[in-house]
A and B are shown apart, each in its own frame.
Chain A
Amino acid sequence: ETGVTQTPRHLVMGMTNKKSLKCEQHLGHNAMYWYKQSAKKPLELMFVYSLEERVENNSVPSRFSPECPNSSHLFLHLHTLQPEDSALYLCASSQDRASGSQQQYFGPGTRLTVT
C-alpha cells in the first residue's frame, strides 16, 4: 500500500472521448502532482498543486485539464486526445515545504491508450 491510489489502472479511449483520471492520497500531504511517462523518456511533470492551488503548469496542452477539489484528491480530465498522448500517467503527493520532506510518493499509474 503506497498511500496513493489511482483509478482506472488501464484506459483505452478514442480521440473524441472525454474521460477522467482520478488520484487519491491517504498520507495527509498538501501537494499533489501529475506526471507523464512515455516510452523511453524521462518522467515529465505536468501539473503541481500545493494546498489545492495550481502552482505549476508545465506547458501542457489544454486537452489535459487538472482539478484538485481538496488536498486528498486530484483529477486529470481528458478530451480530444491524440494517439501520441498514450502513456503512463502517474500521480504523486508530498508533504508541504515547511515540513522539510522533499520525497514524493507515487501511485501505481494509469496506462492510457488513445486509439
Chain B
Amino acid sequence: DQQVKQNSPSLSVQEGRISILNCDYTNSMFDYFLWYKKYPAEGPTFLISISSIKDKNEDGRFTVFLNKSAKHLSLHIVPSQPGDSAVYFCAAKSQGGSEKLVFGKGMKLTVNP
C-alpha cells in the first residue's frame, strides 16, 4: 500500500506559466516532506522541503504548501522554465528519528518553450 501518492504521472505547461505538482499521503505520522527533482541519467536532487509545523515554504520560484488536515502537499513553480522539465518526486519522513524517506512514484513535468 502506497503511503505517498503522486496520482498524475505527467504534466505539461507553457513556459512562464505556473506548474502545480500534487502529492497525497496516508500516514499521519509523517512530519517532514521533501521534493526532489530528477533529470535523466542523474540521481534525484533535493529541491525544497517543509516541516509539518508549517503550511508554506518558499524558495525563489518554488513554493511548497502543506495541508495537514487533507494530508496533501503541493509544489508550485512560477514562472515555469524549460529547464524545470524533469521528474519530480514527493517524499515524506515520519517522527521517531528514523532516516527512512518514503517516496512517491514521481511525476514528469514538461515545460514547453
A residues apposed to B, CB below 8 Å:
2, 4, 6, 31, 33, 40-43, 45, 48, 50, 55-56, 90, 92, 94, 97, 102-109
Contacts and interface: CB of A to CB of B under 8 A. Distances in A.
Given A42-B4, A55-B99, A97-B97, A109 B43 contact: yes
Interface string B34-51: 101000011111100100
19 contacts: A2-B43, A31-B99, A41-B105, A42-B2, A42-B89, A42-B103, A43-B44, A43-B101, A45-B101, A48-B99, A97-B97, A97-B99, A102-B32, A103-B46, A104-B46, A104-B101, A108-B41, A108-B43, A109-B42
Nearest to B5: A42
Contact of B105 (A33, A42, A105): A42
A42 B43 contact: no
Given A42-B104, A43-B89, A103-B34, A50 B45 contact: no
A102 B34 contact: yes
A106 B102 CA distance: 15
Contacts of B103: 42-43
Nearest to B89: A43
B47 to A, nearest CB: 10
B9 to A, nearest CB: 8
* A4, A92, A97, A106: residue with the most chain B Cβ atoms closer than 10 Å: A106
Interface residues of B, number: 24
B99 A107 contact: no
Interface string B90-103: 00010001111111
Contact of A90 (B2, B44, B49, B93): B44
A107 B101 CA distance: 16
Given A102-B32, A103-B49, A108 B99 contact: no
A64 to B, nearest CB: 17
B94 to A, nearest CB: 11
A108 B42 contact: yes
